[in-house]
Amino acid sequence: MKETILITGGAGYIGSHMVRQLAAHGHKVIVFDNLSRGNADAVIDAELVVGDIGNSEELAAVFKNSDIDAVMHFAALAYVGESVHQPDIYYRNNVLGTLNLIDAMHAHGINNLIFSSTCATYGQPESLPITESTPQHPINPYGHSKLMVEQILKDYGDAFNFRSIALRYFNAAGCAVDGSLGERHDPETHLLPLILFEALRVRNGGDPEESTLNIFGSDFETHDGTCIRDYIHVSDLCTAHTAAYHRMLQKPELGAEQFNLGVNRGYSVLEVIEACKKITGIDIQFNTVTRRDGDPPELIADASAAMIKLQWKPEFPSIEHSLQHAWDWFSKNPPDNL
């Protein structure tokens, strides 16, 4: 058996895919999740400890009871719009919760952390594509909360030799290639699933003219007026974590590092809808509504540092892969409230 890895948020979308990938590679995996937004049945091939990163005693118990070598920290609130209206829960969960976690790790002599950061830390970048040295000026509390943690990790690296790699995700997309796991948020707010839900509704006989799909703003300064994002397959995000973990093992002197994870290609909301029409063969209509709070117009990664230093390469760089895998998943696992 290889090293034991604790995955916080392992019942969530990206975390649950990570659990499976690590377990498949022979790691013992322990999931720590409060199940507030995750699903217990998404935890496959791992021990599930139900606990909250807000609770230092629950965290201490996990580290005391198991011989953990490293932590991958996914547990977080991650809705941009929600963070604008409820900043309190974002700072408490994402910043204080992470501080509890790394203090518990430090107290138990565990100094290896892979942290789920985000391109939302860049805010509205002055130039594209975004590299790791692009200035970070978040424009919503979610991005601020993740940037605060990055700073804490740098300071812990300098002071305590605490090793960390912060992975700044662009937009996670897709589902497990073998169809075993998918995306299940409640409520669902992400673009790709919502487009595919609309396709399912129409496939089930719903009227295309009564679309449930809303586009948040068509007056952004982009080529078609809608927001542009860099969509990265969830499976590729996971292989990047494994690569980051290997780098950490090979470089014990490592302090805090940060890498962008994207595919260096942007799609506008309208382009994603067009791609979904092709994959599903369904006439997907939409309504244009006002902008959502906190949305930057365009986020595209320069992920060359991850490709070089982590020796990582996305296996599914095209959005069609993500859409096809997601469509396969949602076709078999439609949401209850379609």
Instruction: Select the residue whose beta carbon is closest to ligand UFG and give its number.
Output: 227
Minimum CB separation of residue 149 from ligand UFG in Å reads 13
User: Position 306: which residue type?
Assistant: A
Q: Is 98 exposed, middle or buried (0-12, 13-18, 19+ CB in 10 A)?
A: buried
Quick check: 24 and 176 in contact, CB under 8 A? no
Q: Which range of residues in 60-68, 152-160, 189-197, 318-326 is near ligand UFG by CB under 6 A?
A: 189-197
Question: Pseudo-torsion of CA 243, 244, 247, 249, nearest 10°?
Answer: -100
Residue 321 found at the interface with ligand UFG (CB under 6 A)? no
Angle (CA) 76-113-28 rounded to 5° is 95
Q: Could you give the CA distance from residue 66 to residue 164 in angstroms, rounded to a whole number?
A: 21
- With contacts defined by CB under 6 A, name the span among 9-17, 48-56, 247-255, 291-299 that binds ligand UFG: 291-299
Question: Which of the residues 13, 122, 142, 245 is marked catalytic?
Answer: 142
Q: Nearer to ligand UFG by C-beta: 42 or 77?
A: 77
* 142 is annotated as an active-site residue: yes
Shortest Å, Cβ 210 to ligand UFG: 16
Does position 73 bind ligand UFG by CB under 6 A?
no
181, 20 Cβ separation under 8 angstroms: yes
Toward ligand UFG, which CB reaches closer, 299 or 307? 299
185 binds ligand UFG (CB under 6 A): no
Closest to 100 measured CA to CA, from 143, 62, 135, 138? 62
Structure tokens at 144: 């601020």
Q: Does 70 bind ligand UFG (CB under 6 A)?
A: no
Of positions 80, 175, 232, 282, contacts ligand UFG by CB under 6 A: 80
Shortest Cβ 57–ligand UFG spacing (Å):
29
Smallest separation, CB 66 to ligand UFG (Å): 29
User: Does residue 231 touch ligand UFG according to CB under 6 A?
Assistant: no
* Sign of the torsion formed by the C-alpha atoms of 99, 100, 101 and 105: positive
Phi-psi domain of 91 (left: phi exceeds 0; alpha: psi -120 through 50; beta: other): alpha
Q: Which of 292, 318, 334, 335 binds ligand UFG (CB under 6 A)?
A: 292
- Pick the closer one to ligand UFG by CB: 11 or 120: 120
> CB of 27: closest distance to ligand UFG in angstroms?
25
Residue 190 engages ligand UFG in binding (rule: CB under 6 A)? yes
Q: Is the dihedral of CA 230, 232, 238, 239 positive or negative?
A: negative
For the record, the structure tokens of 174 come out as 């897709």
Count the residues in the chain: 338
One of 214, 290, 311, 333 touching ligand UFG (CB under 6 A)? 214
Report how far Cα 167 is from the mean position of its chain's Cα atoms. 9
**Binding track over 102-131 against ligand UFG, x by CB under 6 A:** ----------------xxx-----------
Instruction: Show contacts with ligand UFG in window 246-285 (CB under 6 A).
Output: 269
Helices (H) and strands (E) in the chain, counts: 11, 13
CA torsion angle 265 269 274 276 (round to 10): 90
Catalytic positions: 142
Positions touching ligand UFG (CB under 6 A) are 78, 80, 118-120, 170-171, 189-191, 194, 214-216, 227, 229, 269, 292, 295, 299
